[in-house]
Each structure stands twice: as C-alpha cells, then as structure tokens.
Amino acid sequence: MFDKEYDVIVVGAGHAGAEAAAAAANLGSKTLLITMNLQTIGQMSCNPAMGGIAKGQIVREIDALGGYSGIITDKSAIQFKMLNKSKGPAMWSPRAQSDRMRFAEEWRIALENTPNVDFYQEMVSGLLVEGTKIVGVKTSLGLEIKSKSVVLTNGTFLNGLIHIGNKQFGGGRAGEKASTGITEQLLSFGFDSGRMKTGTPPRVDGRSLDYSAMIPQPGDINPDKFSYLDTKALTTQRDCHMSHTSALVHDLLREGFDRSPMFNGRIKSLGPRYCPSIEDKINRFADKDSHQLFVEPEGWNTVEVYVNGFSTSLPEDIQFKALRSVKGFEKVKFFRPGYAIEYDYFPPTQLKHTLETKLIDNLYFAGQINGTTGYEEAASQGLMAGINAHLKINEKDPFILQRDEAYIGVLVDDLITKGTEEPYRMFTSRAEYRTLLRQDNADLRLTPMSYKIGLASKERLVRMEQKERESDSFVQFFRETSFVPDDINPILDQLDSSLVKQPDKMFKVFSRPKVTMDHMKELEPVSNYINENKLGREVLEQTEIQVKYAGYIAKEKNNADKLQRLENIKIPDNFDYSKLKSLSFEAREKLKSIKPVSISQASRISGVSPSDISVLLVYMGR
C-alpha cells in the first residue's frame, strides 16, 4: 500500500498536525498525514474560538510565516474582536469566534489542495527506529510506513481517560478512541512522560435558552481579520451573550462534590490553573457567589451553543440541575455534558529548539504532547516542527525564532529550557519584548525570514514590503512636515492638551498621548497625503504605532541587542560540565540534562544562578 518512502510523516491532524503537514508539504517534502479519523481534521476540541490575549499574536505570526490557521479562521469566523484596544498596542489581541464545523471543513479543503500531502486514516501504534534514528511508523493494522522523519502531534489522545462524575472511560476526546502503544514504546527508548488534565463545558441547545435574560456581547463595529493576505473581514456577525452563576447554582453544584473526580482523588494530574472548572472556581474562590458565563454560538447554521466558563467533570445530572438555575437557562436542553480528560505528555526539555527529540534523530513532537494547551500554541509548534523536519532531511540550517523575534520563539524556548509541569499557555507576560512582538507587525518581523526558507509566498512578501514602504514613508512625512499652530490648536484644545505657540514638526505633536491618527487626519496636509498615496487601514495603524511608540520600541530593540551578545556565546554540543567544579550541583545537573546551546539559554534555566553563569563565562574566556 505504501511502497514509497515519505520525507515526513505527521501523526495526528489536530491544529499541530495540520500545520506541520501543510508546512512540510509546501516546502516540498512528500508528506503523509496519518490520523485516527479523517472527519476530525482541524477539530476544535473545546471552545469554538481562535486568538485572544497573546494567542491572537501567535495566530498572526503563524500567518506571517505562511501557515494556514489565520486564513482558516477568517474563512470560518462568525464574530471578530480586537481585545485590549484601550491599552497600548503591545496588548492588542485579535480574537475570532469560529463556526466549528466550517473551521474543520476549511482545514480539510486547504490540506486537500496542498500538493505533496497524502492522507491515511488509522491509528499509529508504534515507531520504526534504527539505532537512534526514526525510519517510519507502524499502524494498529500492522502496516509499516517508511519515512525520513516523523512529527508526533497526538494531542490529548495518548492513553486518554475521560471523567464524568464517577464514570471513567478511555478516549482521546468525547466519542473518540484513545491512542495506545506510543507512550509505552517511547518510555522503552528512555523518554520521560507525565500526565496532565483538561476539561470542557456542556454544549446546549440554543433554542432552549432565553437570550432576553442575558447581556448581548456583539463583535467589533469595524471588524478586522487575522490573515495578512487578501481574506475578507466579516460584514455580518453573530452575537455572543453573557450570564452569571449564583449562590443557588453553586449550592447545587456542591451537591455533586462527593462524586467529583477532581475532589475524590480519581483525577491525579494537574490542569490549567488559569482555565479552571466551575467546581474548582467555587472551591478556590469560596467568597464569590457569582461567576461570568459566556454563551457562544457554535456556528452560523447550528443551534448548538458552548457555555464558556462552565467547564466541569461533575456528574451529568448535577451539571444539568445547576445549569437550569442560571438566568436564561431555566429550560435548557443538553447536547453533550461537560467532561475532563487525563492524557500523557512528554516533558519538553527532551527536545531541541527545532522540536526534534534529543534521543531520536528526525523525530519531532508538537502540540499538546509537549504539555501545552490551546489551539494556537499547538498550531505554532506544528508549523515549526514541519519546517524543521523538512530542513533537516534536506541538510539545511534549522529555522529557530529568537525570543525577541516572535511569541513562537518565546513559547519554544520556554518549553525546551524550563519545561512545564502544568498545561502551558501563552501570556503576554511571558515575553520580555512585547513592544516588539505586536500583532500588527508579525508580517514585518517574520515574512522575510519565511520567504528566505521557501515557505512564505512571493505574494506575501510583496504585500509586506508595500506595507513597510508605505508606513516608513508616512512616518518620514510626519518627521519632515510642520504644522501651523492655528490648525492644530483647536484639536489640542478639545483634548485638554496644552496648546502650541510655534510651528513644529508633526511627529512631535502626534507623539502626545491623546493625539490619534483620526485627529491628525483633520489636518489638510495629512488627509491629502493619505488620499494621494491611497493608504489603507493597516498602513495608518502601523504608522501611528511607529510614531507614538518610537521611544519604547527603540529601547526594547536596544535591550534585545544587548542580550543577543549572550545568545552569540555558543556552548559546544557535548560540553563536559562535570569538569567545572565551581558550578553548583543543581546547575550542573540541569545543564547536563537540558544542554543549552548558548550562555543566554543557560541563564534562563531555573536553578542556574548568575554566579553559575559567571563560572561559564570565565571558562569561555569572556
């Protein structure tokens, strides 16, 4: 059946697997995407939404690099919001509510239209390894399929165990089988594994809800979109709604606590702290008698509704009774109860920056298997693993993003340097250079790099270069053009900003906190410039940020450059730390196991102190 050897086999077609297959194939690798169920390619296991704080930046970065998640989200969105718009642009985060079924369908269409991708539906039960090198996979039917590299993206499926109240059963997601065999084999090769837990809320019938008792949550009036390519922004949107739990709802939920797998010891592993179940929230924040619930439609043409904020593994009768006491849910009908799932993951300190495993050559891990949670985190790892699998078998340099270049760089570096003991999700606070890593400039940061390795298309590059050229020239216009006090003072007066007495450069007044592009547009030379050059929304936004945040951006660039010097002090591959007696015991053990590639990476390992770094620097003659 499979007489040829593939370049890359991707196991699993969730967000990580789909991006990995697309990237490897678009770079020219003969790729096989093998998954347990071809109907669930790009399935959103939990909430029907992409993006959000820090995650929206990641989707923009995936898009800038030539991945598909941004395009698919634009094609299947039902609502769009730019979060944190009242804060500085480093915090602006795009988020889209998606049509769950269309999202998965668009992924399938996109992959079927990607040359070089073959598909096969089966469970991979083992890996074919010769010496320390991967040479293919084995399926549960006993097929052996050869390849030069393998990317594992098994998500929540490895020995998955689903919990609802006292009931427990094997599964990778509700209604889907768990994956067995791979964990056990990897352990036999010397890998470490752990268990994590996540949960999901019930889905309900929208026809049974009373929306008049809830608060509407509409999308943005002028919705933006994710992709830097020519996808369409929404012209109509669906509203979400907000409701609240109450003291009565909490009391009803408490009635099921003795049957809760969270509290009676059945669930032993750690879940995402920042995305707790409703029973966890009631327990941890006992003084609060109300929590927000977001009522999110699952698509354009379905009545199914996702109850965001009500994730639970309590018995289904308790879930039902409690939800019926929430305002607007008095007559609710269930589509599916909420549940929790425990699954195996592999501590990511066992990986290199390319996401290749340290133990087996040409074997890559991406997504939830690395202890992360979230579609965006998974998709970005898939993209990076797909790219690097292709580059390695073609003997090309690896593609690694630094912490000052992308959130994806922060994500991968955090995972492989620090590891994670609870499901890792991205936050803006994890990035030291968030003024540089904005959602508006991911194309400027990353598209040229991706074009260079052959992934981002010429069209992407041309669009990005035009945006860069136009915004640079417009910034220059503000630097060079002067205003007349009589023109600007009426605007400043309205804003309670001190008036000016003499003409000055526009850049200076535009830099003031309250002055925006909309105000500047009231000046004739500015509006003329925009019209003559036919500048679009993206260029106006980029110019405004470049002018208003010029000082912060320059300062962060400077800090990043300083750190780059430490990044440039490389540590040889098999450096013998045992000969450095002045290193602390903990530092020596951590350095031996993580094998940092640079002094800078070594300094980020927990347990490696500044004095350990000095020892290394002295040894290296610095």
- The annotated binding site for NAD(+) is made up of 271-285
Contacts 24+ apart (CB under 8 A), 188-191: 189/129, 189/359, 189/360, 190/359, 191/346, 191/350, 191/357, 191/359
Instruction: Please tell me whether residue 36 binds ligand FAD under the rule CB under 6 A.
Output: yes
**8 Å CB contact between 511 and 500:** no
Instruction: Dig out the tokens for 101 from the structure.
Output: 């079924």
Residue 284 burial (C-beta neighbours within 10 Å; 0-12, 13-18, 19+):
exposed
CB of 38 to ligand FAD, least distance (A): 9
Instruction: Please tell me whether residue 375 binds ligand FAD under the rule CB under 6 A.
Output: yes
Instruction: Dig out the tokens for 400 from the structure.
Output: 């690694």
**Rounded Cα–Cα distance for residues 335 and 595 (Å):** 49
Instruction: Please tell me whether residue 12 binds ligand FAD under the rule CB under 6 A.
Output: yes
Number of residues that bind ligand FAD (CB under 6 A): 36
**Rounded Cα–Cα distance for residues 491 and 514 (Å):** 10
Please state the residue numbers annotated as binding site for FAD: 12-17, 124, 179, 368
Stretch that binds ligand FAD, among 152-160, 230-238, 525-533, 534-542 (CB under 6 A): 152-160
Instruction: Please tell me whether residue 32 binds ligand FAD under the rule CB under 6 A.
Output: no
Residue (425 or 467) nearer to ligand FAD, CB: 425
**8 Å CB contact between 381 and 367:** yes
Stretch that binds ligand FAD, among 35-43, 315-323, 413-421, 529-537 (CB under 6 A): 35-43
Could you give the 3-state DSSP secondary structure of residue 72? helix
Stretch that binds ligand FAD, among 6-14, 228-236, 383-391, 500-508 (CB under 6 A): 6-14
CB of 553 to ligand FAD, least distance (A): 30
CB of 150 to ligand FAD, least distance (A): 11
Stretch that binds ligand FAD, among 57-65, 172-180, 325-333, 410-418 (CB under 6 A): 172-180
Instruction: Please tell me whether residue 56 binds ligand FAD under the rule CB under 6 A.
Output: no
- Residue that is written with structure tokens 């977001």 in the block: 294
Instruction: Dig out the tokens for 353 from the structure.
Output: 């920056």
Residue (46 or 539) nearer to ligand FAD, CB: 46
CB of 555 to ligand FAD, least distance (A): 33
**Residue type present at position 314:** L
φ, ψ for residue 414 (rounded to 5)?
-60, -45
CB-based contacts of 513: which residues, under 8 Å, 6+ apart?
none
CB of 172 to ligand FAD, least distance (A): 6
Site mask, ligand FAD, residues 484-503, x = CB under 6 A? --------------------
Question: What are the residues facing 372 on neighbouring strands?
Answer: 424
**Rounded Cα–Cα distance for residues 471 and 108 (Å):** 36
Site mask, ligand FAD, residues 197-226, x = CB under 6 A? -xxx--------------------------
**8 Å CB contact between 31 and 21:** yes
Residues of span 325-344 touching ligand FAD by CB under 6 A: 341
Instruction: Please tell me whether residue 350 binds ligand FAD under the rule CB under 6 A.
Output: no
Residue from 13, 71, 134, 351 in contact with ligand FAD (CB under 6 A): 13
Q: How does strand 31-35 pair with strand 117-121?
A: parallel
Q: What are the C-alpha distances in Å from 415 to residues 26, 346, 371, 549? A: 26, 11, 8, 30
Instruction: Please tell me whether residue 157 binds ligand FAD under the rule CB under 6 A.
Output: yes
**8 Å CB contact between 382 and 15:** yes
Residue (199 or 596) nearer to ligand FAD, CB: 199
CB of 29 to ligand FAD, least distance (A): 19
Please state the residue numbers annotated as binding site: 12-17, 124, 179, 271-285, 368
- Among 386, 411, 414, residue whose Cα is nearest residue 399: 386
- Among 141, 177, 179, 140, residue whose Cα is nearest residue 158: 179
Could you give the 3-state DSSP secondary structure of residue 38? helix
Instruction: Please tell me whether residue 96 binds ligand FAD under the rule CB under 6 A.
Output: no
**Rounded Cα–Cα distance for residues 510 and 492 (Å):** 11
**8 Å CB contact between 385 and 398:** no
Residues of span 232-291 touching ligand FAD by CB under 6 A: 275
Residue from 40, 69, 380, 435 in contact with ligand FAD (CB under 6 A): 40
Residue (178 or 475) nearer to ligand FAD, CB: 178
Instruction: Please tell me whether residue 17 binds ligand FAD under the rule CB under 6 A.
Output: yes
DSSP assignment of 117-146 equals: EEEEES-EEEEEEETTEEEEEEETT--EEE
| Interacting residues toward ligand FAD by CB under 6 A | 11-17, 34-37, 40, 45-46, 123-124, 153-157, 172-173, 179, 182, 198-200, 275, 341, 367-368, 373-375, 378
